[in-house]
């Protein structure tokens, strides 16, 4: 599913951008405009995903002409969201995986009571930058 919603972007004194999304009454920010756009898309995706999961109505996007920033420093832009691609739409059910590691590494990790599943998940998320 794909969506497009208007959002208001405001450049802050520290060069960051804050973002409000009126159709969902949510806000986010980014260290630069590209990150702010990404974070706005991610925030909308999260709300849409939650609405779908909880059986709530997904609001229709307002016309961009009907959205005005709170002050003159802001601007309005449409934000594209692709739920098929966004992180919140991922299935969160745990999946069992089998892995192979050297015996010495297994023994050392077990001695330190390392949780293999949590460690693998953290490493994969870091590797994938998610």
Residue-wise pLDDT tens digits, 86-126: 655 566 677 888 889 999 999 999 999 999 988 998 888 77
Whether the predicted pLDDT of 130 surpasses 50: no
Q: Which domain holds residue 127?
A: 94-130
The rounded Cα 110 to chain-centroid distance in angstroms is 34
Domain check: are 78 and 111 in the same one?
Answer: no
Give the pLDDT band (50/70/90) at residue 51.
Answer: confident
pLDDT in tens, 60-96: 999 999 999 998 889 999 999 988 776 555 666 778 8
The terminus-to-terminus CA distance of the chain in angstroms comes to: 21
Domain check: are 27 and 43 in the same one?
Answer: yes
Contact 121, 130 (CB under 8 A): no
SS3 call for 38: helix
Domain check: are 67 and 53 in the same one?
Answer: yes
Count of structural domains, the chain: 2
Supply the CATH number for residue 16's domain. Answer: 3.30.160.250
Q: Is the pTM of this model over 0.75?
A: no
Domain check: are 19 and 80 in the same one?
Answer: yes
- What pLDDT is recorded for position 87? 56
pLDDT in tens, 7-45: 999 999 888 999 999 999 999 999 999 999 999 999 999
- What pLDDT is recorded for position 73? 86
């Amino acid at each position: 599913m794909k969506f497009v919603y208007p959002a208001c972007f405001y450049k802050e004194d520290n060069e960051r951008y804050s973002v409000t999304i009126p159709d969902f009454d949510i806000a986010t920010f980014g260290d630069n405009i590209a990150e702010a756009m990404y974070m706005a898309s991610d925030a909308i995706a999260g709300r849409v995903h939650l609405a779908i999961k909880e059986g709530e109505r997904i609001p229709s996007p307002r016309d961009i002409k009907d959205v005005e920033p709170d002050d003159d420093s802001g601007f309005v832009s449409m934000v594209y969201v692709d739920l098929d691609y966004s992180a919140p739409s991922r299935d969160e059910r745990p999946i069992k995986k089998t892995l192979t590691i050297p015996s010495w590494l297994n023994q050392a990790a077990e001695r330190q009571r390392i949780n293999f599943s949590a460690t693998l998940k953290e490493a994969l998320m870091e590797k994938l930058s998610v």
